[in-house]
Chains A and B, each alone.
Chain A
């Protein structure tokens, strides 16, 4: 098995001082070649536009969308744990039934997608590419979503009595 042969080539968690600059260099590298930022929510949008054959779709962004899970899978397989089939969201499922967890995750994801499209980017688009371009709009969006996420997490913590 691949997982047993290559397991633990990567540490459990690559430290931030290596992973952060690596992401930064990927962003700069992509600008150097194509003069384009690497935003993930936009890649989702161009993917459904490409699949539904909307005119003017940037179809190369679909390839970026496909590349993320391919690279992610390689990364996962090079770790000790490797690929583990599971439901995920353990912290939520420990407190709630599976169906309720799924519903909460779905609603959260819809709100997240709607907000990303309204703001014009997500954690990669605004949070890294936009801030790195010194765009005031991206800095405002990034500070807003960071603050909102911390407050929402605090709210979830209070509502769940500290369980989640």
Chain B
């Protein structure tokens, strides 16, 4: 199988796995997120803590023993210094998250659970992401540090 095909199949499978867990844990429901942010239910905080608690030590260990990944090079983690953009962007993200009661991945699950208004949320997300992209292109040079996002590893190494 070609590497690009393998990436696509894996993307689809891991996306499906992610979406399945989000649905199973009810994270696609406005009420789940809203009750969490109202500090009335702590399940989602615990869920995120458990996700980090599982992946952080495993990734640390895998990085330490220089594990070779199946399709790419040695497993490498990226650690950036915080900048103003992380704080301002994070604050804006948090405000929007509180208003719309869902974030990018759960919004997609919200839609397929039957909630029609999720279309508006998804369109709004695309608009907001694109707005920032175009602004960055205009201000060319001020790149965003994205540890959680796609890295073009071929260019990095």
Contact = CB atoms under 8 A, between A and B. Distances in A.
B128 A111 contact: yes
Nearest to B67: A32
B133 A45 contact: yes
A112 B78 contact: no
A134 B66 CA distance: 16
Given A104-B99, A114-B129, A122 B11 contact: no
A112 B14 contact: no
A70 B16 contact: yes
Interface residues of B, number: 120
Interface in B39-89: 39, 43-44, 46-56, 58-60, 62, 67, 69-83, 85-89
Contacts, number: 520
Nearest to B9: A63
A115 B99 CA distance: 13
A69 B16 CA distance: 7
A71 B146 CA distance: 26
Given A72-B22, A112-B128, A117-B89, 10 more contacts: A13-B32, A33-B69, A43-B15, A48-B126, A64-B14, A69-B109, A90-B31, A105-B120, A132-B55, A141-B87
